[in-house]
Structure 1
């Protein structure tokens, strides 16, 4: 018999599952569940998954996106912190995607605390991420798994703007520069609040992440990120002042910035990740 695709969740099924679990979604956990199957299909299509891709999904919730991913990818490993939701998810997959259930793995825990995943390393990250942890989760998984070649994340619209912003943009900041260390981030769509339950009071954005080579530098990622943090800690300050603490004085910062080919009176908002790396190479190392 031919294999059949998963039966995606619809609004009535989502509400029925929530009622069965006596689930009360909370803002603190960022729990807004996708109820629209077409939105799931759109996310999966934009993720451009290959049949051999091993997807890591963060916060699968009731399984809306999980079911769509199982149809397109070779395997899905989902990380769920909520034990109530995690307890039901394997049965939902077994019931609605019986032909794909053997390609699903569940990890119960905090994605930010994950240090390894079962099976082969993931090649793609696809997730509906809650606002308060979206950037830390993306950065953690990109650092932990160099095998992740691509990703598609749904985040709050404001976060999407920050992830894809370039130097000189009003929304360019720490998330933009740090994600740029690993990958190119592109906004590929918007998602209205009406496709979620409960309905959030903000729009969401879809961001495609494409891995690229990290900057060629003798500085470590940690050293570059420390410079990024310092440069944006006081946004209106010139670099010579913002980085004075790292170099020991404003004069030393000026010297290092000029040696890196940068204007000491410029601000962090104008620098590329390669510029931050050039600065990091010149920060004094204390043994």
Structure 2
């Protein structure tokens, strides 16, 4: 498998052939270390029956490591030149696995359907500037995704895996917990990328969980979460006043949900937000 994977010289040669200069706009930092992609595939626990969704495959470093481990890899790439080049790279370096790859030239923030069998795992080196919305969108759009591992900025990894009570706990933490159990799966140094980013990276592993049992929809629960953290220094009674219609209505909803109105959003888990959403007062009808 070693000779199939891309090293630093391979990555630079491919980029040069495309006339590619990595852009900060697209968050392009290409992995140039074969051991790192092997580690990602191993820690993601990709099984032979998995259909892996990869976002931002870039020049194919991770793709080439995923193909031998999975039954199929569906790679969503927003850059047209990279999307066009990837099948050729796989055909050159792993011709026996080329039929396992499907490249979808699309924006992962908008993709709502994919060709072929539904994805069962999400494994990706995500662009830092869109990592959280991409993960949350894909978990919402594809309930078939049961597990996965993403490489993100270390700070984002902390947010996605934080539990209630800390400063980094916020909207990404609670919404991720709605979909999955997430945990930090290690750190990644800057030297494994080209160009090297000016921040450290972290791995987040997750396993899908059933969302809290509730009469409120996901949209309604997420609205309560957004409102609570929009003014995170305020008590929930104050922060949810606009969401509930008034501070008094917010207090009534909180008490009905068994939540202290003087608490702050950072102290609540996803189940508590679910109970709050269930007790949101109905909007007044305008006649």
TM-score range, shorter chain: over 0.9
- Determine if contact 1:57/1:79 at 8 Å carries over to the other structure: yes
Once the two structures are superposed, the pairs formed by residues 137-152 of structure 1 within 5 Å of their partners are 137-152=134-149
Q: Which residue of the partner structure matches residue 227 of structure 2? A: 230
Once the two structures are superposed, the pairs formed by residues 118-197 of structure 1 within 5 Å of their partners are 118-197=115-194
**Partners in 2 of 1:19 and 1:221 — Cα distance?**
45
Q: Which residue of the partner structure matches residue 57 of structure 2? A: 60
Q: In the alignment, which of 89, 97, 100 is matched to residue 100 of structure 1?
A: 97
**Partners in 2 of 1:275 and 1:9 — Cα distance?**
46
Q: CA deviation at 1:285?
A: 3.2
Q: Which residue of the partner structure matches residue 7 of structure 1? A: 4
**Partners in 1 of 2:65 and 2:246 — Cα distance?**
55
Q: Which residue of the partner structure matches residue 221 of structure 1? A: 218
Tell me: CA distance 1:113–1:139, structure 2 relative to 1, closer, same or farther (3 Å): same
Q: Which residue of the partner structure matches residue 29 of structure 1? A: 26
When normalised by structure 2's length, the TM-score is 0.97
Q: In the alignment, which of 262, 273, 277 is matched to residue 270 of structure 2?
A: 273
Q: CA deviation at 1:5?
A: 7.7
SS class of match (2:96): coil
Q: Which residue of the partner structure matches residue 252 of structure 2? A: 255
Q: Which residue of the partner structure matches residue 50 of structure 1? A: 47
- Determine if contact 1:5/1:99 at 8 Å carries over to the other structure: no
Residue ranges of structure 2 left out of the alignment (5+ in a row): none
Out of 236-245 and 252-261, give the one that drifted further: 252-261
- Determine if contact 1:55/1:125 at 8 Å carries over to the other structure: yes
Tell me: CA distance 1:260–1:28, structure 2 relative to 1, closer, same or farther (3 Å): same
Q: Following TM superposition, where does structure 1 have runs of at least 4 consecutive aligned residues deviating by more than 3 angstroms?
A: none
Q: CA deviation at 1:118?
A: 0.3
Q: CA deviation at 1:109?
A: 1.0
Aligned pairs, number: 284
Once the two structures are superposed, the pairs formed by residues 235-250 of structure 1 within 5 Å of their partners are 235-250=232-247
Q: In the alignment, which of 279, 282, 287 is matched to residue 282 of structure 1?
A: 279
Q: In the alignment, which of 38, 59, 81 is matched to residue 84 of structure 1?
A: 81
Give the aligned CA root-mean-square deviation in angstroms: 1.0
Q: CA deviation at 1:284?
A: 2.4
Residue ranges of structure 1 left out of the alignment (5+ in a row): none
**Partners in 2 of 1:153 and 1:134 — Cα distance?**
9
**Partners in 1 of 2:52 and 2:132 — Cα distance?**
18
SS class of match (1:161): helix
Q: Deviation per CA, 1:211-243, whole angstroms, max 9, x where unpaired?
A: 011000100000000000000001100000000
SS class of match (1:72): coil
**Partners in 2 of 1:147 and 1:115 — Cα distance?**
13
